[in-house]
Amino acid sequence: MYKLMIADDEPIVVEGIRDGIDWKQYGIEVVGCAYNGAEAEELCRKKIPDIIITDIKMPGIDGLDFLSSVRHIVPHARFIIVSAFELFSYAQTAIELNVQAYLVKPVRSSVIVNTVLQAVQSIQND
């Protein structure tokens, strides 16, 4: 089973992704949720997820800094950014950090599922 972690400062987004999708049917377990960058970093160290969905703008450490700080801890992990910000500079940094996808809120559940399944496929192909 693949381990999925969700990090976003909006509880409704976290709960929607965590509870609104039957992850087990896809062979995925949600191993934890974080509501800021520092929590996300700590959770990542403890749970060693395979796939991480993160927002960019979060209190404390933002999503891009979080991604940079844990890349060496989970080098196999695939990162998916889900953000309300369409700024080119964010997308450019995300590309440099080799994210799996950059999705702009609001995002349909089906898009999230398909993106996570693409991440699973990418892990399997490594």
Q: What is the mean pLDDT of the chain?
A: 93
- What is the tens place of the pLDDT at every residue in 85-125? 776 777 778 778 789 999 999 999 999 999 999 999 999 99
d(CA 27, CA 94): 26
How confident is the model at residue 87, as a pLDDT? 67
pLDDT surpasses 70 at 16 = yes
d(CA 34, CA 36): 6
- Tokens read off for 97: 């950090």
